[in-house]
Structure 1
Protein backbone atom coordinates (compact mmCIF):
# COMPACT_ATOMS: atom_id res chain seq x y z
CA UNK A 1 0.00 0.00 0.00
CA UNK A 2 1.27 3.49 -0.89
CA UNK A 3 -0.24 5.34 2.07
CA UNK A 4 -2.36 4.91 5.18
CA UNK A 5 -5.71 6.58 5.81
CA UNK A 6 -6.51 6.74 9.53
CA UNK A 7 -9.93 7.62 10.93
CA UNK A 8 -10.26 8.73 14.56
CA UNK A 9 -13.98 9.15 15.17
CA UNK A 10 -16.19 7.63 17.87
CA UNK A 11 -19.08 7.30 15.40
CA UNK A 12 -17.21 5.48 12.63
CA UNK A 13 -16.34 1.89 11.88
CA UNK A 14 -14.74 0.23 8.86
CA UNK A 15 -18.12 -0.32 7.18
CA UNK A 16 -19.18 3.35 7.25
CA UNK A 17 -19.76 4.97 3.82
CA UNK A 18 -16.84 7.43 4.07
CA UNK A 19 -14.40 4.59 4.84
CA UNK A 20 -15.76 2.33 2.11
CA UNK A 21 -15.79 5.15 -0.43
CA UNK A 22 -12.11 5.83 0.28
CA UNK A 23 -11.39 2.09 -0.09
CA UNK A 24 -13.12 1.93 -3.47
CA UNK A 25 -11.65 5.17 -4.81
CA UNK A 26 -8.04 4.70 -3.65
CA UNK A 27 -6.92 1.15 -4.35
CA UNK A 28 -3.42 1.97 -3.12
CA UNK A 29 -4.60 3.12 0.33
CA UNK A 30 -4.52 1.14 3.56
CA UNK A 31 -7.88 2.25 4.91
CA UNK A 32 -8.39 -0.29 7.70
CA UNK A 33 -7.27 1.86 10.63
CA UNK A 34 -10.49 3.16 12.22
CA UNK A 35 -10.42 4.15 15.89
CA UNK A 36 -13.37 5.05 18.08
CA UNK A 37 -11.08 5.76 21.02
CA UNK A 38 -9.05 8.95 20.40
CA UNK A 39 -6.12 7.86 22.55
CA UNK A 40 -5.80 4.56 20.68
CA UNK A 41 -5.92 6.46 17.40
CA UNK A 42 -3.27 8.91 18.58
CA UNK A 43 -1.04 6.06 19.75
CA UNK A 44 -1.30 4.38 16.33
CA UNK A 45 -0.46 7.60 14.50
CA UNK A 46 2.59 8.29 16.66
CA UNK A 47 3.79 4.69 16.35
CA UNK A 48 3.57 4.94 12.55
CA UNK A 49 4.86 8.47 12.17
CA UNK A 50 7.40 7.36 9.55
CA UNK A 51 4.61 6.24 7.22
CA UNK A 52 2.97 8.30 4.51
CA UNK A 53 -0.37 8.92 6.17
CA UNK A 54 -3.54 11.04 6.18
CA UNK A 55 -5.47 11.35 9.44
CA UNK A 56 -9.21 12.08 9.46
CA UNK A 57 -9.93 13.42 12.93
CA UNK A 58 -13.33 14.04 14.50
CA UNK A 59 -13.79 17.42 16.14
CA UNK A 60 -15.87 16.15 19.06
CA UNK A 61 -15.85 12.81 20.90
CA UNK A 62 -19.13 12.08 22.67
CA UNK A 63 -18.85 11.75 26.44
CA UNK A 64 -15.11 12.46 26.47
CA UNK A 65 -13.27 15.61 27.53
CA UNK A 66 -10.80 15.09 24.67
CA UNK A 67 -11.42 17.18 21.56
CA UNK A 68 -10.03 16.77 18.08
CA UNK A 69 -7.92 19.89 18.58
CA UNK A 70 -6.25 18.18 21.58
CA UNK A 71 -5.28 15.19 19.44
CA UNK A 72 -4.01 17.52 16.71
CA UNK A 73 -1.78 19.34 19.21
CA UNK A 74 -0.34 16.03 20.43
CA UNK A 75 0.45 15.03 16.84
CA UNK A 76 2.11 18.38 16.21
CA UNK A 77 4.40 17.87 19.19
CA UNK A 78 5.99 15.06 17.15
CA UNK A 79 5.66 16.22 13.54
CA UNK A 80 4.42 19.14 11.47
CA UNK A 81 4.51 17.13 8.22
CA UNK A 82 1.59 14.78 8.81
CA UNK A 83 -1.61 15.79 7.01
CA UNK A 84 -4.65 16.03 9.29
CA UNK A 85 -8.23 16.56 8.12
CA UNK A 86 -10.52 17.70 10.93
CA UNK A 87 -14.12 16.54 10.46
CA UNK A 88 -17.37 17.87 11.88
CA UNK A 89 -21.04 17.98 10.99
CA UNK A 90 -21.29 21.29 12.86
CA UNK A 91 -20.36 24.67 11.36
CA UNK A 92 -17.01 26.16 12.33
CA UNK A 93 -18.89 29.14 13.77
CA UNK A 94 -20.08 26.88 16.59
CA UNK A 95 -16.50 26.16 17.73
CA UNK A 96 -14.74 28.13 20.49
CA UNK A 97 -12.86 31.05 18.96
CA UNK A 98 -9.48 29.98 20.35
CA UNK A 99 -9.87 26.49 18.90
CA UNK A 100 -10.57 27.98 15.47
CA UNK A 101 -7.45 30.16 15.78
CA UNK A 102 -5.38 27.14 16.83
CA UNK A 103 -6.58 25.18 13.79
CA UNK A 104 -5.88 28.06 11.41
CA UNK A 105 -2.32 28.29 12.68
CA UNK A 106 -1.53 24.65 11.96
CA UNK A 107 0.50 23.41 8.99
CA UNK A 108 -0.68 20.66 6.64
CA UNK A 109 -4.22 20.90 7.97
CA UNK A 110 -7.66 20.84 6.35
CA UNK A 111 -11.23 21.05 7.60
CA UNK A 112 -13.99 18.82 6.24
CA UNK A 113 -17.68 19.60 6.63
CA UNK A 114 -19.23 16.14 7.05
CA UNK A 115 -22.41 17.28 5.31
CA UNK A 116 -20.55 17.85 2.04
CA UNK A 117 -20.48 15.43 -0.87
CA UNK A 118 -17.87 12.64 -0.86
CA UNK A 119 -16.18 14.32 -3.83
CA UNK A 120 -15.00 17.03 -1.42
CA UNK A 121 -13.24 14.33 0.62
CA UNK A 122 -11.67 12.92 -2.54
CA UNK A 123 -10.56 16.43 -3.50
CA UNK A 124 -8.68 16.86 -0.23
CA UNK A 125 -6.96 13.48 -0.56
CA UNK A 126 -6.01 14.27 -4.17
CA UNK A 127 -4.57 17.62 -3.10
CA UNK A 128 -2.48 15.96 -0.42
CA UNK A 129 -1.22 13.35 -2.89
CA UNK A 130 -0.10 16.12 -5.25
CA UNK A 131 1.76 17.79 -2.39
CA UNK A 132 3.53 14.52 -1.63
CA UNK A 133 5.04 14.52 -5.13
CA UNK A 134 7.22 17.54 -4.34
CA UNK A 135 7.81 17.12 -0.62
CA UNK A 136 11.38 16.26 0.27
CA UNK A 137 10.61 13.48 2.74
CA UNK A 138 8.27 11.77 0.26
CA UNK A 139 10.83 12.00 -2.55
CA UNK A 140 13.43 10.41 -0.26
CA UNK A 141 10.94 7.72 0.80
CA UNK A 142 10.24 6.78 -2.82
CA UNK A 143 13.94 6.74 -3.61
CA UNK A 144 14.58 4.33 -0.72
CA UNK A 145 11.72 2.11 -1.91
CA UNK A 146 13.40 1.96 -5.32
CA UNK A 147 16.87 1.51 -3.78
CA UNK A 148 16.40 -0.55 -0.59
CA UNK A 149 20.07 -1.45 -0.58
CA UNK A 150 20.83 2.19 0.30
CA UNK A 151 18.58 2.42 3.37
CA UNK A 152 21.34 1.60 5.84
CA UNK A 153 24.14 3.38 4.01
CA UNK A 154 25.63 6.42 5.70
CA UNK A 155 24.12 9.73 4.63
CA UNK A 156 26.39 11.90 6.78
CA UNK A 157 28.19 12.02 10.11
CA UNK A 158 28.04 14.45 12.99
CA UNK A 159 30.60 14.82 15.75
CA UNK A 160 28.89 12.15 17.82
CA UNK A 161 26.78 9.96 15.53
CA UNK A 162 26.47 8.34 12.12
CA UNK A 163 23.20 8.95 10.25
CA UNK A 164 21.83 6.48 7.68
CA UNK A 165 19.34 7.32 4.94
CA UNK A 166 16.66 5.38 6.82
CA UNK A 167 17.37 7.51 9.89
CA UNK A 168 17.26 10.69 7.81
CA UNK A 169 13.75 9.85 6.64
CA UNK A 170 12.69 9.24 10.24
CA UNK A 171 14.17 12.56 11.39
CA UNK A 172 12.56 14.42 8.48
CA UNK A 173 9.13 13.05 9.39
CA UNK A 174 9.64 14.02 13.02
CA UNK A 175 10.88 17.46 11.94
CA UNK A 176 13.72 17.09 14.42
CA UNK A 177 16.75 19.37 14.48
CA UNK A 178 18.71 16.81 12.46
CA UNK A 179 15.91 16.45 9.91
CA UNK A 180 15.45 20.18 9.44
CA UNK A 181 19.20 20.78 9.24
CA UNK A 182 19.65 18.08 6.62
CA UNK A 183 16.80 19.38 4.46
CA UNK A 184 18.21 22.91 4.69
CA UNK A 185 21.68 21.65 3.75
CA UNK A 186 20.34 19.77 0.70
CA UNK A 187 18.30 22.77 -0.46
CA UNK A 188 21.30 25.07 -0.13
CA UNK A 189 23.47 22.60 -2.02
CA UNK A 190 21.09 22.38 -4.97
CA UNK A 191 20.58 26.13 -5.10
CA UNK A 192 24.36 26.46 -5.27
CA UNK A 193 24.59 23.79 -8.00
CA UNK A 194 21.88 25.41 -10.12
CA UNK A 195 23.55 28.79 -9.72
CA UNK A 196 26.95 27.41 -10.72
CA UNK A 197 25.52 25.58 -13.74
CA UNK A 198 23.60 28.66 -14.82
CA UNK A 199 26.71 30.83 -14.66
CA UNK A 200 28.77 28.20 -16.51
CA UNK A 201 26.27 28.18 -19.38
CA UNK A 202 26.24 31.96 -19.84
Structure 2
Protein backbone atom coordinates (compact mmCIF):
# COMPACT_ATOMS: atom_id res chain seq x y z
CA UNK A 1 0.00 0.00 0.00
CA UNK A 2 2.83 2.37 0.87
CA UNK A 3 4.57 1.65 -2.44
CA UNK A 4 1.35 2.36 -4.33
CA UNK A 5 0.84 5.69 -2.55
CA UNK A 6 4.47 6.68 -3.17
CA UNK A 7 4.18 5.76 -6.85
CA UNK A 8 0.91 7.69 -7.17
CA UNK A 9 2.41 10.81 -5.58
CA UNK A 10 5.44 10.69 -7.87
CA UNK A 11 3.35 10.21 -11.00
CA UNK A 12 0.79 12.87 -9.99
CA UNK A 13 3.02 15.42 -8.33
CA UNK A 14 0.97 18.46 -9.28
CA UNK A 15 -2.28 16.93 -8.00
CA UNK A 16 -0.61 15.76 -4.78
CA UNK A 17 0.87 19.16 -3.98
CA UNK A 18 -2.40 20.94 -4.77
CA UNK A 19 -4.37 18.48 -2.61
CA UNK A 20 -2.01 19.03 0.32
CA UNK A 21 -2.18 22.82 0.01
CA UNK A 22 -5.96 22.79 -0.35
CA UNK A 23 -6.48 20.40 2.56
CA UNK A 24 -4.30 22.55 4.80
CA UNK A 25 -6.15 25.70 3.78
CA UNK A 26 -9.61 24.18 4.30
CA UNK A 27 -8.73 22.80 7.74
CA UNK A 28 -7.29 26.16 8.78
CA UNK A 29 -10.60 27.82 7.88
CA UNK A 30 -12.51 25.72 10.42
CA UNK A 31 -13.22 27.68 13.59
CA UNK A 32 -13.19 25.73 16.86
CA UNK A 33 -15.56 27.21 19.42
CA UNK A 34 -16.26 25.91 22.93
CA UNK A 35 -19.56 27.00 24.38
CA UNK A 36 -21.01 26.38 27.83
CA UNK A 37 -24.58 25.13 28.00
CA UNK A 38 -26.20 26.31 31.24
CA UNK A 39 -29.73 25.10 30.58
CA UNK A 40 -31.95 24.80 33.68
CA UNK A 41 -32.63 21.11 33.03
CA UNK A 42 -28.91 20.31 33.37
CA UNK A 43 -27.53 19.62 36.83
CA UNK A 44 -24.16 21.08 35.89
CA UNK A 45 -23.04 23.30 33.01
CA UNK A 46 -22.06 21.27 29.98
CA UNK A 47 -19.28 22.21 27.56
CA UNK A 48 -19.92 21.73 23.87
CA UNK A 49 -17.44 22.07 21.02
CA UNK A 50 -18.49 23.31 17.58
CA UNK A 51 -16.78 23.46 14.21
CA UNK A 52 -17.87 26.51 12.26
CA UNK A 53 -16.99 27.25 8.64
CA UNK A 54 -18.05 29.83 6.09
CA UNK A 55 -19.11 28.19 2.85
CA UNK A 56 -18.22 31.31 0.89
CA UNK A 57 -14.60 31.20 2.06
CA UNK A 58 -14.38 27.46 1.35
CA UNK A 59 -15.72 28.03 -2.16
CA UNK A 60 -13.00 30.62 -2.89
CA UNK A 61 -10.20 28.64 -1.23
CA UNK A 62 -9.11 26.72 -4.40
CA UNK A 63 -8.09 30.05 -5.93
CA UNK A 64 -5.54 30.60 -3.17
CA UNK A 65 -4.19 27.06 -3.53
CA UNK A 66 -4.10 27.38 -7.31
CA UNK A 67 -2.21 30.66 -7.11
CA UNK A 68 0.25 29.03 -4.68
CA UNK A 69 0.77 26.24 -7.23
CA UNK A 70 2.00 28.93 -9.59
CA UNK A 71 5.10 29.21 -7.41
CA UNK A 72 6.04 25.73 -8.64
CA UNK A 73 4.70 25.39 -12.17
CA UNK A 74 3.80 28.83 -13.57
CA UNK A 75 7.00 29.32 -15.54
CA UNK A 76 6.97 25.84 -16.97
CA UNK A 77 3.30 26.07 -17.90
CA UNK A 78 3.97 28.94 -20.31
CA UNK A 79 6.50 26.82 -22.18
CA UNK A 80 3.68 25.00 -23.94
CA UNK A 81 2.27 28.10 -25.59
CA UNK A 82 2.38 27.56 -29.38
CA UNK A 83 4.86 29.56 -31.45
CA UNK A 84 3.95 28.29 -34.92
CA UNK A 85 0.84 30.40 -35.26
CA UNK A 86 -0.06 33.99 -36.27
CA UNK A 87 0.62 35.10 -32.69
CA UNK A 88 3.83 33.10 -32.35
CA UNK A 89 6.01 36.16 -31.76
CA UNK A 90 3.73 37.45 -29.03
CA UNK A 91 3.56 34.04 -27.35
CA UNK A 92 7.34 33.73 -27.51
CA UNK A 93 7.82 37.09 -25.78
CA UNK A 94 5.14 36.12 -23.26
CA UNK A 95 7.00 32.92 -22.44
CA UNK A 96 10.28 34.79 -21.96
CA UNK A 97 8.65 37.40 -19.73
CA UNK A 98 6.67 34.81 -17.77
CA UNK A 99 9.69 32.63 -17.11
CA UNK A 100 11.74 35.65 -16.04
CA UNK A 101 8.98 36.81 -13.70
CA UNK A 102 8.63 33.31 -12.25
CA UNK A 103 12.41 33.13 -11.78
CA UNK A 104 12.49 36.27 -9.63
CA UNK A 105 9.06 36.42 -7.94
CA UNK A 106 7.75 32.86 -7.67
CA UNK A 107 7.97 32.60 -3.82
CA UNK A 108 5.67 35.63 -3.57
CA UNK A 109 2.88 33.51 -5.08
CA UNK A 110 2.79 31.51 -1.84
CA UNK A 111 2.15 34.65 0.22
CA UNK A 112 -1.69 34.87 -0.17
CA UNK A 113 -2.07 31.18 0.71
CA UNK A 114 0.28 31.55 3.70
CA UNK A 115 -1.54 34.65 5.00
CA UNK A 116 -4.92 32.92 4.67
CA UNK A 117 -3.69 29.86 6.59
CA UNK A 118 -2.07 32.02 9.27
CA UNK A 119 -5.26 34.05 9.65
CA UNK A 120 -7.33 30.91 10.13
CA UNK A 121 -4.97 29.29 12.62
CA UNK A 122 -4.51 32.55 14.52
CA UNK A 123 -8.16 32.73 15.57
CA UNK A 124 -8.04 29.63 17.76
CA UNK A 125 -5.46 30.77 20.40
CA UNK A 126 -7.48 33.94 20.99
CA UNK A 127 -10.70 31.97 21.49
CA UNK A 128 -9.16 29.34 23.77
CA UNK A 129 -7.52 32.07 25.85
CA UNK A 130 -10.91 33.72 26.36
CA UNK A 131 -12.36 30.40 27.51
CA UNK A 132 -9.51 29.64 29.91
CA UNK A 133 -9.75 33.14 31.38
CA UNK A 134 -13.28 32.40 32.61
CA UNK A 135 -12.96 30.47 35.87
CA UNK A 136 -16.63 29.45 35.75
CA UNK A 137 -15.91 27.39 32.61
CA UNK A 138 -13.79 24.95 34.61
CA UNK A 139 -16.91 23.74 36.41
CA UNK A 140 -18.52 22.61 33.16
CA UNK A 141 -18.46 18.94 32.26
CA UNK A 142 -15.99 17.98 29.50
CA UNK A 143 -14.53 21.50 29.32
CA UNK A 144 -10.95 20.47 30.11
CA UNK A 145 -11.23 17.41 27.85
CA UNK A 146 -12.47 19.46 24.90
CA UNK A 147 -9.83 22.11 25.54
CA UNK A 148 -7.00 19.57 25.48
CA UNK A 149 -8.36 17.86 22.34
CA UNK A 150 -8.79 21.22 20.58
CA UNK A 151 -5.24 22.29 21.46
CA UNK A 152 -3.84 18.95 20.21
CA UNK A 153 -5.76 19.25 16.94
CA UNK A 154 -4.57 22.83 16.51
CA UNK A 155 -0.96 21.69 17.04
CA UNK A 156 -1.38 19.03 14.33
CA UNK A 157 -2.79 21.66 11.98
CA UNK A 158 0.20 23.89 12.70
CA UNK A 159 2.57 21.03 11.84
CA UNK A 160 0.61 20.31 8.64
CA UNK A 161 0.68 23.98 7.63
CA UNK A 162 4.43 24.34 8.24
CA UNK A 163 5.13 21.06 6.42
CA UNK A 164 3.05 22.15 3.42
CA UNK A 165 4.81 25.51 3.25
CA UNK A 166 8.28 23.93 3.53
CA UNK A 167 7.39 21.35 0.86
CA UNK A 168 6.16 24.05 -1.52
CA UNK A 169 9.25 26.20 -0.97
CA UNK A 170 11.54 23.19 -1.42
CA UNK A 171 9.85 22.16 -4.67
CA UNK A 172 10.04 25.73 -5.92
CA UNK A 173 13.77 25.91 -5.20
CA UNK A 174 14.42 22.57 -6.91
CA UNK A 175 12.58 23.65 -10.05
CA UNK A 176 14.43 26.97 -10.12
CA UNK A 177 17.81 25.30 -9.68
CA UNK A 178 16.96 22.80 -12.45
CA UNK A 179 17.22 25.66 -14.97
CA UNK A 180 20.91 26.19 -14.20
CA UNK A 181 23.27 23.78 -15.90
CA UNK A 182 26.74 23.56 -14.37
CA UNK A 183 27.94 20.38 -16.09
CA UNK A 184 31.22 20.48 -18.03
CA UNK A 185 30.01 17.76 -20.36
CA UNK A 186 30.11 19.39 -23.80
CA UNK A 187 27.52 16.99 -25.24
CA UNK A 188 25.07 17.76 -22.44
CA UNK A 189 25.62 21.49 -22.82
CA UNK A 190 25.13 21.26 -26.58
CA UNK A 191 21.92 19.29 -26.02
CA UNK A 192 20.63 21.95 -23.58
CA UNK A 193 21.58 24.71 -26.00
CA UNK A 194 19.65 22.92 -28.72
CA UNK A 195 16.57 22.85 -26.49
CA UNK A 196 16.95 26.59 -25.88
CA UNK A 197 17.12 27.26 -29.61
CA UNK A 198 14.15 25.01 -30.25
CA UNK A 199 12.02 26.74 -27.62
CA UNK A 200 13.13 30.20 -28.66
CA UNK A 201 14.26 31.36 -25.22
CA UNK A 202 16.75 30.44 -22.51
CA UNK A 203 15.08 27.52 -20.80
CA UNK A 204 18.43 26.30 -19.42
CA UNK A 205 20.92 28.81 -18.05
CA UNK A 206 24.53 27.82 -18.74
CA UNK A 207 26.89 28.55 -15.85
Name the TM-score class by shorter chain. Answer: under 0.3
TM-score, normalization: structure 1? 0.24
Q: Which structure shows the higher strand fraction?
A: 1
Higher relative contact order (CA 8 A, sep 6+): 2
Whose Rg is larger? Answer: 2
Taking structure 2 as the reference length, what is the TM-score of the superposition?
A: 0.23
